[in-house]
Structure formats: structure tokens, C-alpha cells
């Protein structure tokens, strides 16, 4: 119980996106190996992408809403930006969206296109 583990990660956006993609791949491999496991996808990127597609197909006048949707979905960052009066924090919802999306893309790519399902 007293064990402490330290992980060393490079703090670049590119490395974080790749790492999250690989987490998604690993989670999909676990699903393939253990089919009873749940699906481990982040729901908000799927929601945002789905609404974006719907927006461009049917409701072209909601482009501004789609752009601000990450600010609403990941509202903790938006509230913190207002509370701390720190404009740079408004970028964080978009970064979180990118990281969760890369996880989902890794998962979907591995699960749907790898051909390793049992």
C-alpha cells in the first residue's frame, strides 16, 4: 500500500496524442482478448463528431455552436479559466477533446480494422 510509482512522460502535445492513441489500441486489444470487457471509448468526442456531421448535413447555421461545444462539454476548464482569469485555459477543452479523440481513434482502428478478433 505504500508503493509509489512515478511515470515520466514527455510534455509535448504530439507525444500525448500518440500516447493516448496507443492507450486506445491497448484497450481494444484487451476487449479482443476478453470479449466480456466493456467498450472503453470516451463519449464526448463521439458526441461532438456526431453533432458536427449532423450540423454540416442538416443544420449549417450551428457552426459556432459546434466550435464552442468543447467549452461546454469540458466545462471544468471553462469555469477554471473564468475563475482564475486565465485566458490560456480556454485552450484546454480543445486539448482534452484531442486527447480523448486520439484514444477513441486508436480503439476503433484496432478493434474494427486489425483482424485480430477471436
Tens digits of pLDDT across the chain (118 residues): 899 998 888 889 999 999 999 999 999 999 999 999 888 899 999 988 888 788 777 766 777 777 888 999 999 999 999 999 999 999 999 999 999 999 999 999 998 888 665 4
Cell numbers standing for residue 35: 470479449
Give whole-number Cα distances, 61 to 19, 33, 56, 64, 67, in Å: 35, 44, 9, 8, 12
Backbone phi, psi, residue 9, to 5°: -120, 145
Alpha-carbon gap, residue 11 to 25, rounded angstroms:
21
Closest to 116 in 3D by CA, of 42, 35, 38: 35
In this structure, what is the dihedral angle of CA atoms 27, 50, 66, 42, given to the nearest 10 degrees?
-20
b/e code 87-109 from CB counts within 10 Å (16+ = b): eebeebbeebbbbbbbbbbbbee
Amino acid at each position: 500500500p505504500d508503493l509509489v510509482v512515478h511515470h515520466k512522460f514527455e510534455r509535448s502535445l504530439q507525444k500525448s496524442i500518440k500516447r493516448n492513441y496507443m492507450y486506445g489500441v491497448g484497450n481494444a486489444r484487451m476487449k479482443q482478448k476478453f470479449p466480456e470487457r466493456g467498450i472503453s471509448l470516451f463519449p464526448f468526442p463521439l458526441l461532438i463528431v456526431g453533432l458536427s456531421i449532423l450540423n454540416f448535413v442538416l443544420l449549417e447555421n450551428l457552426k459556432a455552436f459546434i466550435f464552442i461545444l468543447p467549452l461546454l462539454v469540458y466545462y471544468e476548464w471553462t469555469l477554471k479559466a473564468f475563475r482564475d482569469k486565465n485566458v490560456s485555459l480556454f485552450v484546454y477543452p480543445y486539448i482534452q477533446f484531442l486527447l480523448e479523440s486520439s484514444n477513441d481513434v486508436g480503439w476503433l482502428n484496432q478493434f474494427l480494422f486489425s483482424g485480430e478478433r477471436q
